[in-house]
């Protein structure tokens, strides 16, 4: 058993208090998280990705994550608000694979959902609840969680939690979903009901198996939520491509149901989803939004202001911009956010990609040095 919990307990206690202040809107300065412990492999330098990260030995995944966690604690101490935990990561399609969605596994790349094979809308009626012990990638996640629990005393998170919308789109395909909302709305509601129920069961199953509290210990994209603000998060990236009314009908009730099942939680999306401000505000159980804004700072500020007025915290996030854009980006972001109560700024340090004009370009930077540089920039900006 690798014992690290006591080693980090003083740091973690201070950090938890800082994060609680943010969610309580009692902070005067934004909390900062430098996330250089990405459990995914997107954005990692190929030479730094373990050969069998997604293989049959979960020890490879655990060792890779622990090495980064130790490095982070050693350097940053209590200067940022990252809390170390172990994540059983097998891509964004784990639950969809339980429904039969095909998975692609490329070399040293995150497992991904392939194009749906579903052609007939009536297939929705035949979908059964996935069996976590048998279906798709779910057994591998459970095996990894069991390994983490047996071999290290660090906290554990559930695997990536794609929300009902993204799961439904992965299972039947984007084109089918778009057409069938009009042609077969009752079947789409049936699908959303099934994937929501399956997701609730899947999260509960993982939490029970790994001794994770049902209504706490949630880590949206690596950032721990304080106790009292819910135990689940969902990725809702496809919200950016769906209209307001369709989202209100086909998504909001199901997101609410999921969040309420765990005492509340977080919604994540990338890009600009300001058309859904009212939809988010009317999502029951929502306590925080995690938004990779893709350098659309104007949209980020608009969303954040609406959430702030309702007492919902906001995580302003992005992968690190290009070297020339980095300082102006964080200056503009901090300035646009204004009052920092209820605000967390998260920099995702991925050395093989850089953010430029709303897209990610290939890069080759030193992850450790890059994280230090961003932290120094943010320290200066937040001190003003």
**pLDDT given for residue 384 in this prediction:** 76
Q: What is the CATH number of the domain that holds 326?
A: 3.20.20.210
Average pLDDT of the residues in 163-176: 98
What letter would DSSP give residue 49? Answer: S
Count of structural domains within the chain: 1
Distance of CA 292 to the CA centre of its chain: 10
- pLDDT category of residue 209 using cuts at 50, 70 and 90: very high
Strand intervals (E) in 133-247: 232-235
**pLDDT given for residue 77 in this prediction:** 75
For 275-284, what is each residue's pLDDT tens digit? 999 999 999 9
* Cβ within 8 Å of residue 338, ≥6 positions away: 301, 305
Neighbouring C-beta atoms of residue 216, cutoff 10 Å: 19
The CA distance from 360 to 294, in Å, is 9
Q: What percent of the chain has pLDDT over 90?
A: 97
* Cβ within 8 Å of residue 246, ≥6 positions away: 181
What letter would DSSP give residue 113? Answer: E
**pLDDT given for residue 211 in this prediction:** 94
CA angle 306, 167, 138 (to 5 degrees): 125
For 144-154, what is each residue's pLDDT tens digit? 999 999 999 99
Residue 158 domain boundaries: 5-383
**Residues 135, 235, 90, 8, Cα dihedral to 10°:** -120
**pLDDT given for residue 149 in this prediction:** 97
For 55-70, what is each residue's pLDDT tens digit? 999 999 999 999 999 9
350 touches 324 (CB < 8 A): no
The CA distance from 381 to 375, in Å, is 10
> How long a stretch of residues is the chain?
384
For 179-203, what is each residue's pLDDT tens digit? 999 999 999 999 999 999 999 999 9
**pLDDT given for residue 46 in this prediction:** 95
Report whether pLDDT(98) > 90.
yes
**pLDDT given for residue 353 in this prediction:** 96
**pLDDT given for residue 79 in this prediction:** 80
Cα atoms in the 13 Å half-sphere on the side-chain side of 247: 22
Exposure of 352 by Cβ count < 10 A (0-12 exposed, 13-18 middle, 19+ buried)? buried
Average pLDDT of the residues in 86-103: 97
């Amino acid at each position: 058993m690798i014992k690290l919990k006591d080693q980090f307990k003083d740091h973690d206690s201070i950090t938890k208090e800082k994060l609680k202040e943010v969610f309580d809107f009692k902070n005067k300065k934004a909390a900062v998280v430098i996330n250089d412990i990405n459990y995914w492999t997107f954005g990692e330098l190929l030479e730094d990705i373990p050969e069998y990260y997604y293989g049959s030995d979960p020890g490879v995944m655990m060792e890779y994550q622990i090495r980064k966690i130790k490095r982070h604690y050693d350097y940053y101490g209590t200067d940022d608000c990252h809390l170390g935990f172990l994540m059983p990561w097998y891509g964004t399609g784990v639950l969809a694979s339980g429904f039969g969605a095909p998975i692609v596994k490329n070399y040293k790349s995150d497992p991904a959902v392939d194009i749906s094979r579903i052609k007939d809308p009536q297939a929705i009626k035949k979908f059964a609840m996935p069996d976590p012990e048998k279906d798709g990638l779910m057994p591998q996640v459970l095996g990894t969680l069991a390994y983490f629990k047996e071999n290290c005393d660090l906290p554990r998170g559930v695997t990536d939690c794609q929300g009902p919308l993204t799961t439904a789109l992965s299972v039947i395909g984007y084109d089918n979903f778009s057409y069938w909302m009009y042609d077969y709305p009752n079947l789409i509601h049936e699908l959303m009901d099934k994937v929501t129920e399956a997701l609730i069961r899947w999260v509960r199953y993982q939490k029970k198996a790994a001794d994770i509290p049902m209504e706490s210990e949630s880590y949206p994209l690596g950032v721990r939520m304080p106790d009292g603000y819910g135990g689940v998060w969902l990725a809702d990236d496809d919200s950016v491509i769906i209209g307001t009314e369709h989202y209100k009908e086909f998504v909001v009730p199901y997101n609410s149901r999921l969040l309420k099942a765990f005492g509340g939680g977080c919604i994540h999306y990338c890009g600009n989803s300001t058309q859904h401000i009212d939809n988010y505000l009317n999502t029951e159980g929502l306590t925080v939004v995690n938004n990779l804004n893709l350098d659309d700072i104007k949209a980020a500020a608009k969303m954040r202001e609406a959430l702030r007025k309702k007492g919902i915290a906001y995580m302003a996030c992005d992968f690190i911009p290009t070297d020339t854009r980095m300082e102006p980006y964080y200056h503009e972001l901090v300035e646009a956010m204004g009052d920092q109560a209820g605000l967390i700024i998260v920099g995702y340090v991925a050395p093989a990609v850089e953010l430029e004009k709303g897209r990610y370009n290939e890069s080759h930077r030193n992850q450790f040095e890059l994280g230090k540089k961003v932290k120094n920039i943010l320290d200066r900006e937040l001190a003003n």
